[in-house]
Each structure stands twice: as C-alpha cells, then as structure tokens.
Amino acid sequence: MKVLVINAGSSSLKYQLLDMDNEAVMANGIVERIGETVGNLTHKAFPDTDAQKKVVKEEEIKDHKVAMHMVLDLITGTEAGVISDPKEIDAIGHRVVQGGEAFTSACVVDGSVKVAIADNNPLAPLHNPANLMGIEVAEELFPGTPNVAVFDTEFHASMPKEAFLYALPYDYYKELRIRRYGFHGTSHKYVSRKVASLMGKKPEEINVITVHLGNGCSMAAVEKGKCQDTSMGMTPLAGVMMGTRSGDIDPAIVAYIAENKGMSASEVDSLLNKQSGLKGVCGLNDMRDIHSAVENGDEMAKLALDMFAYRVKKYIGAYAAVLGTIDAIVFTAGIGENDDITRALICENLSGLGISMDVEKNKGRKGEPTKIHTDDSKVQVWVIPTNEELQIAQEAVELLK
Ligand code: ADP
C-alpha cells in the first residue's frame, strides 16, 4: 500500500509519500507561504534507496488547491516523480490537530467526520480549519481515494477525568469544553510503542515517560501503553517551557499583565505563545543558537537553558509519581534527539528515581534509536527519532485493512 500523508497548515502544506510494504519514504516536501506573493516548494524524491532528486520552486501559490496540484504533478511527473498515476495512492492520511472528545482514534473521513472536525474549530482556530481544507482539497484531487484523519489528541483520549479536568466550575467543561486535550499524540504514541518493541516488550507491559522536545515541547506519562497524563492542555501553550511559549505559569499573571500593560486578552495570549519561553528569557528560541550564546558567555542564554531543563525534570518527577514505576524514558524531536547537553542537564541527579544516564553513551546527535542509560540504571533511557508521518500512515493502513 502507498499512503500520502498530508499536514496542512494555514499557509503551508507538508507531505510525505510512503510505501507501506517496506515503510520507505518515496517522496516528501513542503509548500510554504501559500497565498503570499511569492510562495515556495521544496520536493525531494527517493526513486530508489541510493538516489535522491530535489526540486525547488519559487512562485505565487494562490491557495492549497494549487499547492496540492503542484505536489501531485511532481510525484507523478518525469522530473522527480515516483509514481506514474495518482490512482497508485491507496490512502491519504491527514494530520488533524484537535479531535476533541468526538475522536478517540483515527477514522475514515466522510461527511459527518468533516462536520465533527469543524465542530472542534473553536478549540483549535489556527489549525483545524486548515487541516479540514487539506482534506477537502485531497477529496477533490484524488476522487475515490479514502482519506483518513489522524488526530494529535487521540492518543491522550485515555486520560482519566482527574487528569484531564481543570479545577474550574464544572459547567465550564460542559458548556465550553474546557479540559486538557494534549497534543503531539502521534509522536508520543510512536515513541512509546517503539521503545516497547526495542525492549522486547508489549506496550501493555511497561510504563514510559515520553519527552518530545522540539519547537513545541510536551511530555506524557504512558501507563501500559495508554496515556495517563500529558503536559499540554486545552491548547499547546501549557506544560514545559518551549521555544516561544511560556508553558505553565500562574494563571493570575494573564489578568495582571493585561491590567498593567493595557493589553487585551488576545494580546496577552500572543505574548505567551510567541514572545515567551526560551525567546522571552534570552531573545533566542533555537536551541543551537542558545548553546552558541552560552559558549560565548551569555548569562541569559544559560539561564534560559537551565530553566528549560529544570521544568522538564520537574515533569519527570511528577510523572514518576503518577506512574508509580517507570521502565523507560524516551527523548525525541529536534532537541530531544540532537541535544546531548540538554538531555544531560535534565537527567542530572535523578538517581533517586532509578534514572542514571551514561555520559558517554549520551554524547552526540542520535539519528537512530539509542540507549543512553548506564548498565545499572533501573530505568532505561532512550533517544528515539520520532516519525509522525509513519505513525499516521500506519494508522491509515490499519484502519483500511
Ligand atoms: P518542530 O516542533 O517545529 O517540529 P523540531 O522537532 O524540528 O521542531 O525541533 C526544533 C528544535 O530542535 C529547535 O530548538 C532546534 O534548535 C533544535 N535542534 C535541532 N538540531 C539541534 C542540535 N543539533 N542541537 C540542539 N538543538 C537542536
């Protein structure tokens, strides 16, 4: 089976075509600045294991339909194509950010699914409408090919009420659907299953803390294969500190800033999402830049790094308590996979929890699953590259079987 995975954003479209017979990537790419005067597209094709072809285009890309047409032309074209007919694609898997309480697993898209996705638009106004647009464009361009929606929130649907409810008047949960939903679910699911298989266990046999540290950062306490708690909340703003997002703060700060700075609620929301986190503290949001700044003696960059690691460590402690026993911790995503300094800071002094990182094994970037714990560590510590596209494609295949 060949599966095309689509991640449609408000002005971008990421795609990956996978041959699921051997889980190989046939082509992938990204279209950006859709709707602007100059858009761009980068397409990479892997016609066989050793070959790679790259196409870059810069031109006006009016809307997502034009973008998807360009992608289709490229994957079926002579220049950097990998299939000859769009009908060779057996399914299209779509990343949808917010599934709300309606979706606890992936599903084949039909009219009622689209209505239910749109019903969640108020909970993810920047993402869900774009995801839905991606589905509608795919329906038009690939008539007859099944579309599967895979939700960022679905892995977290197993959280119990005591974990997902906020201590607000209960009516607000009923009326406004205010609760913790959690995000990055495909990544937490993928790495928690992967670590189980690498340890020779079934997901139901182990407890895992998954640590996804990219531009957005989130963690999950996964008990016997099911998410018990996660750090992101009703929106992706909650939890650990991130590139530009504050993560958890005292909620009273919102009104305090609004009153003292004369800002509206949405202006404070934007401050917390776009001008806070690592960037807010030291002016830099890319971890590589932060390390360079630290090397050059920048004290604010060092403070931002320490704050970042401290908050992740705190969540490890909280999730150790939630799970009772931990079998493994998994680091993933840009920082989790590549940043040995941050991993080391996070795992410092955790031996009381049975977590002992091996300094040598931790060193360097990890392009493949790697154990980084000492031989006597009770808890295994792993770095596992995440693969959200593969997870989405696997769910599409399972559903259509
Ligand atoms: P996104 O959430 O956008 O998918 P990624 O998972 O790609 O983000 O992660 C982006 C983050 O990973 C950035 O903070 C970047 O600095 C960091 N990163 C990538 N490579 C390295 C590296 N070699 N060392 C430290 N940080 C890295």
Rounded percentage of the chain residues whose pLDDT exceeds 70: 100
Find all residues with CB under 8 Å of 401, minimum gap 6, and list them: none
CB of 284 within 6 A of ligand 1: the answer is no
CA-nearest residue for atom 21, ligand 1, is: 338
Average pLDDT, the chain: 96
CB of 100 within 6 A of ligand 1: the answer is no
CB of 287 within 6 A of ligand 1: the answer is yes
Q: Which of 27-31, 74-78, 216-220 has the lowest mean pLDDT?
A: 74-78
CA-nearest residue for atom 22, ligand 1, is: 338
Q: What is the pTM of this model?
A: 0.96
Token couple for 10: 């408000």
User: For 119-127, what is the mean pLDDT?
Assistant: 93
User: For 274-290, what is the mean pLDDT?
Assistant: 97
pLDDT higher than threshold 90 for residue 51: no
Tokens 């600045």, residue? 33
How does strand 380-383 pair with strand 328-332? parallel
Token couple for 365: 């970037």
Q: Residue 79 to residues 39, 60, 74: CA-CA distances in angstroms?
A: 20, 20, 7
User: For 381-399, what is the mean pLDDT?
Assistant: 97
Per-residue pLDDT of 300-358, as tens digits, reads 999 999 999 999 999 999 999 999 999 999 999 999 999 999 999 999 999 999 999 99
298 included as an active-site residue: no
Per-residue pLDDT of 145-200, as tens digits, reads 999 999 999 999 999 999 999 999 999 999 999 999 999 999 999 999 999 999 99
Q: What confidence tier does 76 reach under pLDDT thresholds 50, 70, 90?
A: very high
Identity of residue 64: H
Q: Which of 338, 346, 363, 388 to mutate to test the pocket of ligand 1 (most atoms within 8 A of CB)?
A: 338
- How far is Cα 5 from Cα 389, in angstroms, rounded to an integer? 6
From the candidates 19, 85, 152, 229, give the one annotated as an active-site residue: 152
Query: Which atom of ligand 1 lies closest to the CA of 243?
Result: 14
Ramachandran angles phi, psi of 387, nearest 5°: -150, 80
- How far is Cα 389 from Cα 317, in angstroms, rounded to an integer? 30
CB of 236 within 6 A of ligand 1: the answer is no
Task: Let me know: does 62 contact 118? Beta carbons within 8 Å.
Answer: no
pLDDT at residue number 23 = 95
Task: Let me know: does 137 contact 71? Beta carbons within 8 Å.
Answer: no
CB of 248 within 6 A of ligand 1: the answer is no
CA atoms within 13 A on the CB side of 108: 10
CB of 364 within 6 A of ligand 1: the answer is no
Q: Which of 95, 97, 244, 287 to mutate to test the pocket of ligand 1 (most atoms within 8 A of CB)?
A: 287
Residue 372: count other Cβ atoms within 10 Å of its Cβ: 23
Closest CA to 116 of 154, 160, 170, 166: 154
Q: Which of 32, 97, 191, 215 to mutate to test the pocket of ligand 1 (most atoms within 8 A of CB)?
A: 215
Per-residue pLDDT of 355-383, as tens digits, reads 999 999 999 999 999 999 999 999 999 99
pLDDT at residue number 48 = 77
pLDDT higher than threshold 90 for residue 49: no
- 279 CA → ligand 1 middle, Å: 14
